[in-house]
């Protein structure tokens, strides 16, 4: 199977594609729909499936945080669906707060990507079969024997440790500039590509109940 991993970047999405012979290709695309082309599985570092209220939130996120002591903050709280419809942080924060808890600026900055994947998944039954939610730090923890990588990926030691883990699991990359994406974005795309490989061969782990769905029938699971 041809699989891939995608992570949001400043110009769109950086995609790591792994062909059946193990060849890796890394590119930046403007839309997530482009990233899906020709793939059997695409693992994406972006939430799929949204709650109508911010609390208690998605079970998969709570499970993910519990698996990553010292790194739990890397699992951002997903906004509730009413907040995602808001166009300013002030409005989104107020809407979310009225429903239980406020929403930070960092999460609001991800709204365009969240809206894009939400529209894509709601609009295509075919893509719902291909695209799965993943999380790079969970992927790295699995590669690291279940232990979170605590060093920050933007620091030299954290970057080198993750690069080594990827190579150990069959995803080798010689760091080089990728127009439109930071090199830590590339690491994350490669990490969730590893998750896509596990999904394809039936050995990935799912967080959250198998049948948990949002109001539009989208799954609320994280795979690693």
Q: What is the DSSP letter of 149?
A: -
Q: Which residues of 147-166 are buried (b: 16+ CB within 10 A; e: fewer)?
A: ebbeeebeeeebbebbbebb
CA distance 22 to 92: 43
Task: Answer for the pair 41, 3: CB distance below 8 angstroms, yes or no.
Answer: yes
Q: Which of 36, 41, 35, 34 is nearest to 20 (CA)?
A: 41
Q: Which of 189, 30, 188 is nearest to 113 (CA)?
A: 30
Residues β-bridged to residue 157: none
Q: Which of 54-58, 81-85, 117-121, 190-194 has the lowest mean pLDDT?
A: 54-58
Q: Domain-by-domain residue ranges, the chain? A: 3-73+115-223
Backbone angles phi, psi at 95, to 5 degrees: -60, -45
- How large a percentage of the chain has pLDDT more than 90? 99
- How large a percentage of the chain has pLDDT more than 70? 100
Correct CATH for 3-73+115-223 of 3.30.420, 3.40.1440, 3.30.70, 2.30.29: 3.30.420
Segment 110-120 shows an average pLDDT of 97
pLDDT digits (tens, 9 = 90+) for 136-186: 999 999 999 999 999 999 999 999 999 999 999 999 999 999 999 999 999
CB atoms within 10 A of CB 73: 9
Q: Residue 222 in 3-state DSSP? A: strand
Q: Residue 204 in 3-state DSSP? A: coil
Split at pLDDT 50, 70, 90, the class of 214 is very high
- The structure's pTM equals 0.95
Terminal Cα distance for the chain, rounded: 18
> What value, to the nearest 5°, has the Cα angle with vertex 188 and ends 186 and 189?
65
**Residues in CB range of 176: below 8 A, 6 or more apart:** none
CA distance 70 to 97: 27
């Amino acid at each position: 199977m041809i699989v891939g991993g995608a992570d949001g970047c400043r110009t769109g999405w950086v995609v790591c594609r792994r062909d059946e012979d193990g060849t890796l290709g890394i590119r930046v695309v403007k839309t997530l729909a482009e990233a899906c082309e020709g793939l059997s599985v695409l693992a994406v570092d972006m939430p799929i499936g949204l709650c109508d209220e911010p609390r208690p939130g998605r079970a998969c996120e709570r499970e993910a945080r519990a698996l990553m002591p010292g790194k739990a903050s890397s699992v951002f709280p997903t906004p509730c669906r009413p907040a995602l419809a808001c166009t300013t942080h002030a409005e989104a924060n107020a809407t979310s707060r009225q429903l239980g808890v406020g929403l930070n600026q960092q999460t609001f900055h991800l709204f365009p990507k969240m809206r894009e994947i939400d529209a894509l998944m709601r609009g295509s039954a075919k893509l719902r079969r291909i695209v799965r939610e993943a999380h790079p730090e969970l992927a790295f923890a699995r590669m690291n024997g279940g232990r979170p990588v605590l060093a920050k990926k933007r620091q030299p030691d954290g970057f080198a440790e993750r690069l080594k883990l990827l190579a150990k699991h069959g995803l080798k990359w010689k760091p080089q500039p990728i127009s439109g994406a930071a090199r830590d974005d590339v690491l994350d795309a490669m990490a969730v590509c590893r998750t896509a490989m596990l999904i394809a061969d039936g050995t990935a782990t799912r967080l959250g109940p198998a049948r948990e769905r949002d109001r539009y029938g989208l799954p609320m699971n994280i795979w690693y």
